[in-house]
Amino acid sequence: MTMRVLIAEDDPVIALGLAARIRALGHEPVGPARDGSDAVALARTHNPDLYLFDVDMPVLDGLSAARTLAREGLRRPVVVITGVPDPDIVDRCVADGVGAYLSKPIDDRQLDASIRLAASRHAELQALEAEVTNTRQALEDRKLVEQAKALLIQTLDLSEPEAFKRLQHAARNRNQSLANVARDLLDHRDVLRGPPEARRAGHKESRRELDKSG
């Protein structure tokens, strides 16, 4: 699917390179914006489908720009990039609902995968928000769902989209929220990761519960 990607990067050479890569991947670049404040103005005018923001920019950093747009009703999938890997930034990204995180230098394959991942996680967050009215609660629920997906990927050898579909099916079948299904699965992680006999039993039980609707 072709998307209009708003680029915000204060280094003009890197910004032009990102725009060229976005075009090569079949998307339409918007901008580039020279800082977070410029990015907010461009988003208001051009209504892009996804944000590709550098974290460290003058005037307004990438995460602050994304938060500002979200408050204005312009929340979109977000991919953030940085030249210095920092665990604190990763935590802030999770708290702010950022879909993907990239460290420079970036290759085309990483960029393409991150755009797809951010779009997918944004759709998941929207599904969670359809269940709850509070955005902060939806973000907390998303953390549970991400942890449950990771557990399913590891124990049942599923892809990320398959793991999410399993959780959705189980939620519909049980008439429960995605967060409750994820929490219940995580409560049984010790069984799934236990001795071989218990792990096999746990695998069968998880597959049986998650496949009831599917």
The domain ranges of the chain are 4-124, 132-211
39-70 per-position pLDDT tens digit: 999 999 999 999 999 988 988 989 899 989 98
CATH architecture of 132-211: Orthogonal Bundle (1.10)
Would you say 142 and 125 are in contact if contact means Cβ atoms under 8 Å apart?
A: yes
Q: Looking at residue 177, what is its pLDDT?
A: 84
User: Is the model's pTM score more than 0.85?
Assistant: no
- What pLDDT band is residue 87 in, cutting at 50, 70 and 90? low
Whether 102 and 75 have beta carbons less than 8 Å apart is answered as no
Mean pLDDT, rounded, of the chain: 82
52, 22 in Cβ contact below 8 A? yes
- The arrangement of secondary structure in 4-124, i.e. its CATH architecture, is 3-Layer(aba) Sandwich (3.40)
| Residue 173 banded pLDDT, cuts 50, 70, 90 | confident
Burial of 152 per CB tally in 10 Å (0-12, 13-18, 19+):
buried
**Which of 84-93, 142-151, 199-208 is modeled with the greatest confidence?**
142-151
Mean pLDDT of 96-124: 85
